[in-house]
Amino acid sequence: MTEKVLARLSDDQNSNSNKIERAIATLDNSTADAVGLPAMAYTSEDFLDRERRTVFTNHWVCVGIGSDLPNFGDLVPVEVAGMPIMLVRDRSSKIRAFHNICSHRGLQLVTQPCQQQKLIRCPYHSWSYALDGELKSTPHFGGYWQDTYEGFDRASKNLQSIKCEQWLDLIFINLVGNAPPLEDYLQPVIERWSDYDLSLLSHGRDLSFEFDANWKLAVENFSESYHLPWVHPQLNNCSRMEDHFGFEVGENHVGQGSKLYRIGAMGDLTLPVFPNLPESRETVAEYISVFPNLMLGIHPDYFLALTVNPLSPTRSVERMSFYFIGDGATSIEYEALRQIPIDLWKITNEEDLETIERLQKGRKSPAFDGGCFSPALETTVHQFQRLVAKAIANK
Ligand code: FES
């Protein structure tokens, strides 16, 4: 590379780093005075790399659901911002997480879900690991017909384990391993929804969507209802923008809800609802964005968990998991009723994704300066961006 090119690259890096520092500083202002994250936070591989090392490493990140691996020996490959991870249900029914790489020369071990395995075997040189990660066999590693050699430190070659905990059906990992207990992290959510008996949730169905936009745009969009009248006119007919409200839910999460949720009905039949709900909750739906990439929705008759994961700075994948109240709610009798919220979210999400992809396109413009927030209706978006800025400052 010529000196000129190197100088330009260095200028670009300095300018990007200045933009990040500026964003971190201005996001600490009040909502009315804050400037949003710059375009490069949504378009640059460098920024995503920084998020990998901070946002997705230092926090609890939801990576999957227990229903994906119901039995002992089930394995599921997952990714967090492109980092390969595997989930394993061990003999004691506990779900464990490991870096999804062989300790020998780093081959990705699990490429698709597998059921009821006794060992995890690498297809390259056939090293095998127990479900607790212990390295069990290394054929011919010490020479023909010798599995070892003097001085080989077998114990240091076990699978690399990742801190993993579960709340409801949702599986979380913490890559750096020093996050507080998951229950502490989620405590404001657990308290906010203590009226709902979440132990009754029964997994119904999943939907998955890929889209051409940065992952943060999906969280920001989920966190505010200001866009409802224009992006979701049909939804706005039954739950208007002004029927929504915001609420505090701890330092790391943001919440908003609707006062006018109507339970879907077919004739006299409705889905089972959470028992003993206070009257004030009977027509309420609430939504919480759990930092960084989990979005939750609670309704009297169903629960929604939505995760978004970056595939690249400009492409992301979403997964929606629907849960209903009690095992009976997932029976054939309620199939058509279950489809009502699923169809509604499918339509709503398609409308959202069209908008989100246009927000992404807008970030190619040299005129985009980070944007601004409504102090009345977008404090949640501001708070989310502030959390991102704070997280990446801890690189
Ligand atoms: Fe796995 Fe060689 S890379 S056994």
Per-residue pLDDT, 15: 66
Q: Note whether 26 and 35 are within 8 A (CB).
A: yes
Looking at per-residue confidence, does 215 or 12 come out higher? 215
- Do the beta carbons of residue 164 and residue 173 sit within 8 Å? yes
**Residue 328: other Cβ atoms inside 10 A:** 12
Assess whether the C-beta atom of 107 lies below 6 angstroms from ligand 1. yes
Tracing tokens 């010798």 back to the chain, one arrives at 146
Mean pLDDT across the stretch 290-315?
97
**Confidence at residue 153, expressed as pLDDT on a 0 to 100 scale:** 95
Is the predicted pLDDT of residue 5 greater than 60, yes or no?
Answer: no
pLDDT of residue 83: 94
Stretch 152-169: mean pLDDT: 97
Is residue 303 within 8 Å of 198, Cβ to Cβ?
yes
CA angle 218, 221, 227 (to 5 degrees): 150
Average pLDDT over residues 78-86: 94
101 lines ligand 1 (CB under 6 A): no
Q: Is 104 in the pocket of ligand 1 (CB under 6 A)?
A: yes
pLDDT of residue 16: 66
> What's residue 212's pLDDT?
98
Q: pLDDT grade, residue 80 (50/70/90)?
A: very high
Specify the pLDDT at position 242.
77
Residue 352 pLDDT: 94
Residue with CA at minimum distance from ligand 1 atom 4: 125
CA pseudo-torsion sign 62, 67, 70, 74: negative
Whether the CB-CB separation of 65 and 76 falls below 8 Å is answered with no
Nearest atom of ligand 1 to the alpha carbon of 126:
4
- List, in order, residues 6 or more apart from 93 with CB less than 8 Å away: 72
pLDDT at 229 (0 to 100): 85
DSSP 104: T
Q: Give, for ligand 1, the residue of 104, 137, 140, 157 to mutate: max count of ligand atoms closer than 8 Å to Cβ.
A: 104
| HEC profile of 118-145 | CCEECCCCCCEECCCCCEEECCCCCECC
The residues with which 146 forms a beta bridge, in sequence order, are 143
Does residue 159 carry a pLDDT above 70?
yes
Q: Give the Cα separation of 227 and 352 in Å (integer).
A: 9
Average pLDDT, the chain: 92
Q: Ligand 1 centroid to 291 CA: how many Å?
A: 36
Q: Tell me, what's the pLDDT at 25?
A: 79
CATH class of the domain comprising 61-167: mainly beta
Residue 64, classed as helix, strand or coil, is strand
Confidence of residue 233 (pLDDT cuts 50, 70, 90): confident
Q: Tens digits of per-residue pLDDT, 46-57?
A: 999 999 999 999
Q: Which CATH number fits domain 193-368: 2.30.30.140, 3.40.50.720, 3.30.420.40, 3.90.380.10?
A: 3.90.380.10
- Sequence ranges of the domains in the chain: 61-167, 193-368
**Residue 236 pLDDT grade (very low, low, confident, very high; cuts 50, 70, 90):** low
Q: Would the CB of 345 count as within 6 Å of ligand 1?
A: no
* Distance from Cα 152 to the centre of ligand 1, integer Å: 15
Q: What is the pLDDT of residues 328-357, one digit of tens each?
A: 999 999 999 999 999 999 999 999 999 999
- Higher confidence at residue 243 or residue 69? 69
Q: Which of 98, 122, 148 to mutate to test the pocket of ligand 1 (most atoms within 8 A of CB)?
A: 122
Closest atom of ligand 1 relative to the 127 alpha carbon: 4
Statement: residue 121 has pLDDT above 70:
yes
Answer whether residue 11 shows pLDDT above 60: no
Q: Pocket of ligand 1, candidates 127, 154, 159: which has the most ligand atoms within 8 Å of its Cβ, to mutate? A: 127
Is 200 a pocket residue for ligand 1 (Cβ < 6 Å)? Answer: no
pLDDT at residue number 131: 96
Ligand 1: residue whose CA is nearest its atom 2? 125
Residue of 216, 198, 165, 160 whose CA lies nearest to 61: 165
pLDDT at 1: 39
Atom of ligand 1 nearest to the CA of 106: 3
> Are the C-beta atoms of 380 and 224 separated by less than 8 Å?
yes
Cα(139) to centroid(ligand 1), Å: 10
Q: Please give the structure tokens belonging to residue 32.
A: 């009315």
The mean-pLDDT minimum among 1-10, 150-159, 248-257, 274-283 falls in: 1-10
- The pLDDT tens digits of the residues spanning 16-63 come to 677 677 777 788 889 999 999 999 999 999 999 999 999 999 999 999
What local confidence, expressed as pLDDT, does residue 13 receive? Answer: 58
The winner for highest mean pLDDT among 97-106, 248-257, 325-334 is 97-106
Which runs of E-coded beta strand occur in 116-275?
120-121, 128-129, 135-137, 161-167, 170-174, 201-211, 244-248, 253-258, 265-266, 269-270
User: How does residue 14 score in pLDDT terms, banded at 50, 70 and 90?
Assistant: low
* 357-386 pLDDT tens trace: 999 999 999 999 899 999 999 999 999 999
Render pLDDT for 184-204 as a digit per residue (tens, 0 to 9): 999 999 999 999 999 999 999
